[in-house]
Amino acid sequence: MSSTPLVEKTLTLLAQARARLQAFPQTLTPAERDRIGSLADWSARDILPHVAHWNNHVLTRMDCFRLGVAPEKGEDYNLVNDRVQQANCQKSWETLLAEVDETYASLIEQVQAFEPGALEDPARYEWQRNNTLVVSIISTAVFHLEWHLAEYERKHGDPARGAAAFADFTRQTVDIPGWEANAWYNLACVDSMAGLKAPALEALAKALPLSPRLKEWAPQDDDLAALRGDPAFAALLAG
* pLDDT, one tens digit for every residue, the chain (239 residues): 568 999 999 999 999 999 999 999 999 999 999 999 999 999 999 999 999 999 999 999 999 999 999 999 889 999 999 999 999 999 999 999 999 999 999 999 999 999 888 999 999 888 888 899 999 999 999 999 999 999 999 899 888 888 888 888 988 998 999 999 999 999 999 889 889 999 999 999 999 999 999 999 999 999 999 999 999 999 999 98
∠23-24-27 over CA atoms, to 5°?
A: 100
29 secondary structure, DSSP code: -
**What's the one-letter identity of residue 191?**
D
pTM across the whole model: 0.90
What span, in angstroms and rounded, lies between the C-alpha atoms of 181 and 172? 13
Continuous segment of H or E residues that includes residue 179: none
Closest CA to 156 of 61, 35, 70, 8: 35
CATH of region 5-133, choose from 3.40.50.920, 3.40.50.1370, 1.20.120.450, 3.90.1150.10: 1.20.120.450
Residue 197 Cα distances to 158, 200, 202, 229, 239, angstroms: 16, 5, 9, 12, 19
Rounded-to-10 torsion of CA 103, 109, 111, 113: -150
Residue/partner pairs of 184-187 with CB below 8 Å, 24 or more apart:
184/210, 185/211, 185/214, 185/218, 186/143, 186/147
Helical segments of 114-143, H only: 116-119, 133-137
Please state the φ and ψ torsions of residue 177, each to the nearest 5 degrees: -55, 130
Rounded-to-10 torsion of CA 25, 30, 31, 37: 30
Domain ranges of the chain: 5-133
